[in-house]
Structure 1
Amino acid sequence: MGHIVKITTKGQTTIPQDVRAALHVSPGDYVSWEMAEDGSARVRRVQPLDIDYLRAIEGTLSEWAGENDEAAYRDL
């Protein structure tokens, strides 16, 4: 059975302890809310983006940024 929790005026709520345990989340972790067409929501644990790593590899991807590549992948 699900949990019923109250939403504060700031739009916040407490994630029940057993849900936090099942998601393996603790203070400071990130979660993602995904909405389904039927109005239901799914929440899952996500890892934060490593911006330094992404910036480091950005320069190595220039060979994929050409006009021919744009044309080839435009309709995907």
Structure 2
Amino acid sequence: MPAIAKITSKGQTTIPAEVRESLNFNPGDLLEWEVNADGSARVRRIQPLDLEYMRAVEGTLTEWGCAEDEEAYRGL
């Protein structure tokens, strides 16, 4: 059975409860919209980037960042 929702004048809509439950959407979730060439759309929940984690990982990447490494891997 299709779920139908209306778009408000502000461009907002309510995701029907059965859809939210089925897709495990929760308040505060981030949704990504992708519009396909055929006019259909895909929506999915995405996780926000954990900037603290990304900065910690970035700090470990300098191990291979010297000029010798750049020269050795240039042709790859």
Normalising TM by the smaller chain, what interval? 0.7 to 0.9
TM-score (norm 2): 0.73
Query: 1:26 aligned to 2:29?
Result: no
The alignment partner of 1:59 has SS state of: helix
Q: Distance in 2 between matches of 1:71 and 1:8?
A: 54
Please give the residue correspondences for 1:10-21 in structure 2 after superposition, counting only pairs within 5 Å.
10-21=10-21
- Which runs of no fewer than 5 residues in structure 1 stay unpaired? none
Q: Which residue of 1 aligns with 2:45?
A: 45
Q: TM-score, normalised by structure 1?
A: 0.73
Q: 1:7 to 1:61 in 2, by over 3 A?
A: same
**Secondary structure of the structure 2 residue equivalent to 1:32:** strand
Residues 61, 14 of structure 1: alpha-carbon distance in 2 compared, 3 angstrom cutoff? same
* Structure 2 Cα separation of the partners of residues 26 and 45 of structure 1: 9
Q: Secondary structure at the match of 1:8?
A: coil
CA deviation string 1:4-35 (max 9, x = no partner): 32212221110000110111011111221122
Could you tell me the percent identity over the aligned residues? 56
Q: Does structure 1 conserve the Cα–Cα contact (< 8 Å) formed by 2:32 and 2:46? A: yes
Deviation of 1:71 after TM superposition, in Å, equals 5.8
Aligned length in residues: 72
- The 1-side partners of 2:22 and 2:35 are apart by 20
Amino acid at match of 2:11: G
SS of residue in 1 equivalent to 2:8: coil
**Aligned residue in 2 for 1:4:** 4
